Every structure is written in structure tokens, then in C-alpha cells.
Chains A and B, each alone.
Chain A
């Protein structure tokens, strides 16, 4: 079975990001780039299925500048078989562009399962997965927290407000992954060395025209200084009052 995992390179969630001088982009200086954590879960799930249930190929695809190859190598080091880099100079903010480029690549690729993280850890759009599914006419199950493959079908558990929803879907299908689906592996030294020898195919990304533009990007306002309201038991009532009246959080 062929499985494709669409992955995005994002700034390390622990990096302190800065807004670039244009006020519309991130300043890339000093940023550590990683495989978006939800996408890592997607890669892990595809590998588990390949190794335990449905032997075949796991292909990782990413849209972006030259830098994304290090992220593709990370996915290869985890165990993916090959990678496709859809190249662009800059990656715009319009999720539909990315979805188009991915759909172009996926059309005719014969993937039974197309995996995505439920959202990118940077812009949190949560659009690319469902859009690719739509462009390809595939059913899409979002936010999978449980997954079982059964022949041409899959049973997917979704975490919803106050409970779990169980969905059955016919393959081929697109799935976006939620935390808790699995515990992504640490790449092994052997995997990292082997990744060096696995192919990364480069192609231009066919993005089409953007219909969406970022006009401003701002960091949240800096947090004000903390305040010590007192000490010991007496402080409790003061704290409760201030939380209610000043901070208005209770």
C-alpha cells in the first residue's frame, strides 16, 4: 500500500520568534526548524501501518524553500522510504496554494492513505488537509485520535467535545492526525545514516495565484510584571478578590 504524508517545516515551538522588519513575516534569523509536531504523528502512523499491517511505501511530501529538505530528512530518518520536495522560493500564507500544489502531486500517485497533521504548529490554519481531500475528491477525517485499518476501510476515532466519535471511512481517504494517536519514535542513529541514502525528488511547486494576503503580524503584548499580594493565609482572600475584580478570570 502506498501512503503519502504531507509535512510542513515550522519554527521550533520553543523558539522565541520575532516579527521581521516588514511587519508581515517571521524573522527567520536564529530560528530552529523542525517537522511540525502533528505531522510527526502522521509520519509515525503511516510507518506503523507499513511495518505492522500493510507493507508498501511511505512517501513524505513538503512544499517550501530549500531549507525544508532537512525536515524531509528527519522524516526519512524516522523510516519513510522516499521524499518529494515541491520547491518554491517563498511559501505564501494562502493554504489553498499549498493544497493545490500537493493535490497536483498526489493526483495519480495511487495513495490509499494521505496523511496530514490536524494543523500546522505555526499558523494553526487546519485547512490544507481538508482542502487537498476536496481537490482530489477524497473523503477526509480530521483530528484522528485512534486509527484501525481493516481491508479497504478504516475506523477512525475522533476526540470531540465531551466524548469520542467513531467514524468508518472507505479508502482511499485523507486523514488528519491529533495528539494521542501515537507516540512518535526518536529516529535511530541507523535511521539517520540511512536517510542520507534515500532519495529526495525535487519538483517545482504548482501553487497557482494566492487569494489571501497577510497584512500584519504581531506578537502578543508583553506580559506585565507579576505582583505579590501578601503572604500566608491572609493572602488567599486578597488573591481571590483580585482574581475576580482585577484580572476578571474567576
Chain B
């Protein structure tokens, strides 16, 4: 196969700075040289190749947009997006690992944590010495996290030594759960003053009594990624492990906006990998005496793929610029996440079809991407939920809240 050079039909390269392009190219080379050779086996056998964590961390990919003060790279959101694109061109599981660590663990600690919490966790999370996970979804509470039943109950007098919380509940589908040293767990806590429940974030650490995180096996998607349950049975969490600034559901939702932003870029990488494979294959596979790429139906599909990738790229570029300017809205992120996941999955399915029987093997990346993208379309807000978010933005009427 010819060397992978990405897809750039509209000279989007010219919209990036030299550093942004360099960052993308470095991550691309790393994925090509270090990740692609190992991912198929990891996927088949169903494990996340954790040996790569030090290298991923060494490149500064964990919490890349956070300040250097905490051991992070402090790059632009656009550069970060390009890095996500290249990681997911490798595998959605790899991008998921990086998304969770950065957007769902480091971001909330940075945004809602105390300075002590930041100093304690961020450098270790940036260096990959500590792994984190984000526990929002529950077995019976997915798209509607506000209805969660995991609960924290105050123990001791606030401020007094030894005060804290007792957590009970269960989380499900938690990326990195089993391998995490720290879990950002979201739970209901009754507000003493109003008597109302409010969602709060807690840093639950590996080894705390009553906390366990068994891995969920038997997945047909994101097989090279760890997915786990979190079980909390009378877990005592000290006061200093509550995120002091996170009050209400908007805190975890703001983390999701960060992660969805990375996903919007990431899936374009997976789509490009599938397009690349389909284009190559269509050029060399001869049937009825001609390369299949000579048939109009195949050409039309390739044309649609290229069009959708190009549109998705342009969405990402502008979204990145808006985010860098501090102007991106959650609804704009929803639009890009919704669109790009859908087109990436469609492209993966079409590519699988163009590759015929070969498309189902691990010789080509397309079916792996296709299966992965099923999860990516579901997590971080399903396609339907983002449709409803946009519906509300358009009409001013919420169909789900």
C-alpha cells in the first residue's frame, strides 16, 4: 500500500499553522510506525496495548491543551484535534484512551478541582504514571444521566478532620475503568440547605475500600480498549477528594463537550483510513477484466466518501478555530460530533463493502474501524440525543428535558 498521506482535497492543510501540521505529522508517523503494527492483534485478542502509554504521554498527548505548569503541552485546540484525528486513524480505542484521560479526567480536575487536587493529579496523569476514568453512565441511566441513582451521603461534620462521603452505586461502560488509578465518579448529593439532590464529582482512588472495577468483556466493538463496571459499596471518600467547583449536571456535561470535540476530529481520521483502503483496493482489484474502481457504482461511492470527509474536515477546522477563540458552543460541538460520527460509520460500511470478502479480515483496517465506530456513534451522546440538542437549539423547545 502506498504511504498514507491523509486526505486533503480542499487544501485544508493551508488552514493550519506550521506547528499544527508538524504535530499532526508526528502523531501520524508514530501511529504508522508504532501502533498499526500491534493494533490488529490487540483487537483480536481484546486488550488495550498499555505498553504504548509512556510513548503517548512522552509526546505530550495526554491533556495536551492544559497549561505547561501542570506538565501538559499547552497546545491549541486545533492542534489537539489534529492529533486526535491521527490517533483514531490508528484505532478508536487509542483515541478513546487519550480522550478519557485528557477531556474526562484531567479537564474536570483542572476546571472543577482545588489547586491541591490539580497539583496532586495533573502531572501524574500527563506523564501516564496515573490513569484515570470517568464514571457517569449507569446500567439503567444512559442518555439521561440526570436520573442517576449513585449517591453520596455526607459523613462527619464538613471541615472537621476525617469528614467525607459514603458512596453507593454502580457505573457501567466506563472506558479505562479497570486500569484506572483514579475515577472521576459523578453522584447525587443532597444539598443540606435546599434539601434537593445535586450531582457532584468525586475522585475515587484505586484501592479504596468497597470500590472495584471489573472489566466488561465480550464486546464486538472497541476491542482494543478497556471498558468496565465501577462498583461502589459504602466507599468512604474523604472531603478533599470532592471536586469543590462542580455543582450540578452541567459539570459532567461540560466535560462531555470537551471529549465530543475530540471525537468530532477523531472519527475523521477513521473515515480517512477507510477511504484510503477502499481507494487503494478499488485501483488494484480486477473483476470483469477491469479494476473495480473503473465501475461507476464504485466511483460514486468513492466520490461520496471524499465529499463527506471534506465537509467533515471543514467543520472541524472552523470548530477548532471557534474553540481556540473561546467561542465554540456545546450545540456547535453536538453538530460536528453527530455529523462526523455518522459519516465516518457510513464510510466504514461502504469501504467494507468495496473490499468484498477481504473487507471482513484483519488484513485491512476497515471492519475494525466500522465496528469501533458503532460505539463512537453511541457514546458521548447518541446520534439521537445530539439531534435533540440541535432541535432544541433551533426551536427553543426541548424534546427531552
Contacts and interface: CB of A to CB of B under 8 A. Distances in A.
Contacts of A193: 19, 73-75
B60 interface: yes
A234 interface: no
A192 interface: yes
Main secondary structure of the interface of B (DSSP, over half): helix
B68 interface: yes
Q: Which of B19, B29, B74, B75 has the most CB of A within 10 A?
A: B19
Contacts of A12: 3
B3 to A, nearest CB: 4
Interface stretch (A69-77, A84-92, A155-163): A69-77
Contacts of A70: 18, 22
Nearest to A196: B19
Interface string B1-35: 01101000000000000110011001001100000
Contacts of A74: 22
B16 to A, nearest CB: 12
A187 B58 CA distance: 9
B61 interface: yes
A134 to B, nearest CB: 35
B9 to A, nearest CB: 15
Interface in A158-206: 185-193, 195-196
A190 B19 contact: no
B79 A189 contact: yes
Given A192-B26, A193-B73, A193-B74, A186 B18 contact: no
Contacts of A185: 58
Given A192-B23, A192-B26, A186 B55 contact: yes
B333 interface: no
B18 A73 contact: yes
B59 interface: yes
B83 A189 contact: yes
B249 to A, nearest CB: 32
Contacts of B74: 190, 193
Interface in A61-84: 70, 73-74, 77
Contacts of A15: 3
A185 B2 CA distance: 24
Contacts of B5: 32
Nearest to A74: B22
B64 interface: yes
Given A186-B59, A188-B59, A193-B74, A14 B3 contact: yes
Contacts of A195: 19
Nearest to B62: A189
Interface in A1-39: 12, 14-16, 32
B61 A189 contact: yes
9 contacts: A70-B22, A74-B22, A77-B26, A187-B59, A189-B59, A189-B60, A189-B73, A190-B68, A196-B18
User: Would you list the 6 A-B pairs with minimal beta carbon distance, nearest first?
Assistant: A189-B60, A189-B73, A14-B3, A188-B60, A190-B73, A190-B60
Interface of B: 2-3, 5, 18-19, 22-23, 26, 29-30, 55, 58-61, 64, 68, 73-75, 79, 83
Interface of A: 12, 14-16, 32, 70, 73-74, 77, 185-193, 195-196
